[in-house]
Amino acid sequence: MEKPDFKNLGEQTRAIHAGELPDPVTGASSPNLVMSTTYLAEAGTGFSVEGHDEEDPWIYTRWGNPTVHQLEEKLAVLEEAETAVAFASGMGAITVLFFHLLKAGDHAIVSDVAYAALSEMTNEMVPSLNIQITKVDTSDLSAVKAAVKNNTRLIYIETPCNPILRLTDIEAVAGIARGAGARLAVDSTFATPAATKPLQLGADFIVHSLTKYLGGHGDALGGAILGRKADLAPLRKKTAIRMGAVISPFNAWLILRGLATFPIRMRAHEKNALKVAAFLEKHPKVKRVIYPGLPSHPQHELAKKQMKNFSGMLTFQVENGKKRSGIFADKLRIVHYAVSLGHHRSLIFYLDSADLKESSFKFATGKQDESWEIYAGDGIFRLSVGLEDSKDIIDDLNRALDG
């Protein structure tokens, strides 16, 4: 069976067929799960990865695996990237990217609000290696420009950022990065390829937590970096293989299964989130709702320009949110009070501003703190709207709000 030209096929077709061909021996239509850690090698095969190239036969699963390779091919097609490298988690991908691109004496600009583990790593671990980190509000282009130094090698952004759903103009920051001779990496986990294609807007690297929307079922950890082959082949060989954050073939297989329905799921997530966000905006006990698909979002125009799908993530504020989180945990029947996001079921969790400013986000300026206040106030409920009937989600939230 011939491999199709995916450039001329629709998104749903690509999600189902990219990276997959029927097994030539058994005729199996679904992708194989190859759990073997090692493979028969020819006599004289080198023992070090230094002597091997991307096209060489499989030798050891930390170096490469047929099931993982299928996942990487599918991800690359969905993101319109040349290639992808899969990892055991989103943080595995982020860590490899930072330690591959940066060395002692280098400087990186990082979003001052980003995934908590990334924020904490760049607060402590990375600077301890004599790598300078400047945290800025990357939605403020003047702040990004002002942070650039002669030794800036990387600008790292999230859009929408976790957890406050503030956006960054990818194309504009890509221009700043090019002017500085730096690389631009975009964590597009919240947006997904259904919304945004960062490489087409000038980014050098895309980072995803596959645990979230791309896997979609809350049963498999995974991460990925996507970009040009010339960048990712040495990243895999020199850093990823040696750091060992390798995805399990079983998790890769689970995520492959989830990706087949990815475009359909994202349309359903967005449809539900729009209804839930509209309900919450009208509820008397809700102070503010932040959702890119609402005209009330402070950057709604940028969202319309940069996102073809507004995703299923939203936040909302209520009076005494920290106290009311206990009521939510007790009263909710459909929505799970739990961390994570992008699953088929709805998930909600309260994030207290004071706690986060003490642990993850340590703002250097009053302006950065003001930006946080605009989006998060004293604290937010972060809601990942799932695929249940929207009426049931709304009824469940209404019960908790009135409780």
Give me the pLDDT at residue 5, please: 86
Residue where a domain terminates, one of 232, 258, 284: 258
Looking at the structure, tell me whether residues 253 and 167 fall in a common domain.
Answer: yes
**What is the span of the domain harbouring residue 175?**
11-258
CATH classification of the domain holding 128: 3.40.640.10
Looking at the structure, tell me whether residues 232 and 284 fall in a common domain.
Answer: no
The answer, as to whether pTM is greater than 0.85, is yes
CATH classification of the domain holding 398: 3.90.1150.10
Residue 237 in domain: yes
Q: Cα separation of 86 and 78, whole Å? A: 14
Residue 5 in domain: no
Residue 4 in domain: no
Look at the alpha carbons of 170, 104, 85, 259 in this order and tell me if their dihedral is positive or negative: negative
Looking at the structure, tell me whether residues 219 and 290 fall in a common domain.
Answer: no
Looking at the structure, tell me whether residues 36 and 169 fall in a common domain.
Answer: yes
Q: What is the CA radius of gyration of the chain?
A: 21
Looking at the structure, tell me whether residues 285 and 218 fall in a common domain.
Answer: no
Looking at the structure, tell me whether residues 355 and 281 fall in a common domain.
Answer: yes
Q: Hey, what amino acid is at 329? A: A
Q: How far is CA 46 from the centre of its chain?
A: 36
Residue where a domain terminates, one of 258, 277, 296: 258
Give me the pLDDT at residue 398, please: 98
Q: Count of CB atoms within 10 A of residue 316's CB?
A: 24
Residue where a domain terminates, one of 233, 258, 283: 258
Residue 197 in domain: yes
Tokens coding 301? 């125009």
Looking at the structure, tell me whether residues 253 and 266 fall in a common domain.
Answer: no
Residue 6 in domain: no
DSSP state of 42: -
Asked, as a colleague might, if the bond just before 198 is cis with ω within 30 of 0, I would say no
What averages of pLDDT result for each successive group of 10 residues across the chain (403 residues)? Answer: 85 95 92 95 88 88 96 98 98 98 98 98 97 98 98 98 98 98 98 98 98 98 98 96 96 98 98 98 98 98 98 97 96 97 98 96 94 97 98 98 92
Give me the pLDDT at residue 93, please: 98
Looking at the structure, tell me whether residues 56 and 87 fall in a common domain.
Answer: yes
Looking at the structure, tell me whether residues 58 and 169 fall in a common domain.
Answer: yes
Looking at the structure, tell me whether residues 102 and 221 fall in a common domain.
Answer: yes
On whether the CB atoms of residues 350 and 381 are closer than 8 A, the answer is yes
Q: What is the arrangement of strands in the sheet containing 83-87, beginning at the earlier edge strand?
A: 83-87, 223-227, 205-209, 183-187, 152-158, 107-111, 132-136
Looking at the structure, tell me whether residues 246 and 277 fall in a common domain.
Answer: no
Looking at the structure, tell me whether residues 20 and 84 fall in a common domain.
Answer: yes
What total of structural domains would you count in the chain?
2
Residue 300 in domain: yes
CA distance from start to end of the chain: 59
Residue 114 in domain: yes
Side-chain-side CA neighbours of residue 238 (13 Å): 11
Residue 3 in domain: no
In a 3-state reduction of DSSP, which class is residue 38?
A: strand
